[in-house]
Amino acid sequence: MKPLLTFLILLFAGVHTSAGAKGNSGGSDSLAARTPAVSLVYFTTSPGFTGAFLQWRVSHTEGLQYFVVERSYDSKTFKPLAVVNAKSEQPVYFYKDEEVLGLRRKAY
């Protein structure tokens, strides 16, 4: 089996925000203000007979609701594959990409 190259794109959408974050000044509620600081501790992929196994660990999950796993064939345009729900007591996450088996080209 050819080595699989897959990257995890973490999108932190729908995170907890405080009420009235927009304020009376008319300022916008930017994504940066709503996205919690998270460090990716590690990310690994392993090829298997039934797909590619992705595993990652984050420094903390407080305020996160989910991760979005995406794939790209050109490392520029990404397509969402799955949503993995975040849990405050779980720093390690897994995803099995079964669709990657039939690919004849490199996937990111």
The pLDDT of residue 101 is above 60: yes
Grouping H, G, I as helix, E, B as strand and the rest as coil, residue 33 is helix
Q: Please compute the mean of the pLDDT values over residues 12-29 and round it to a whole number.
A: 39
Closest to 54 in 3D by CA, of 87, 9, 106? 9
Average pLDDT, rounded, for the chain: 71
Q: What is the pLDDT of residue 93?
A: 93
Q: Beta strands of the chain (E only): which ranges?
A: 40-48, 51-58, 66-71, 79-85, 92-97
- Split at pLDDT 50, 70, 90, the class of 96 is very high
What tens digit of pLDDT does each residue of 38-82 get?
A: 788 999 988 888 888 999 998 877 778 888 998 888 888 888 989
Q: What is the pLDDT of residue 12?
A: 39
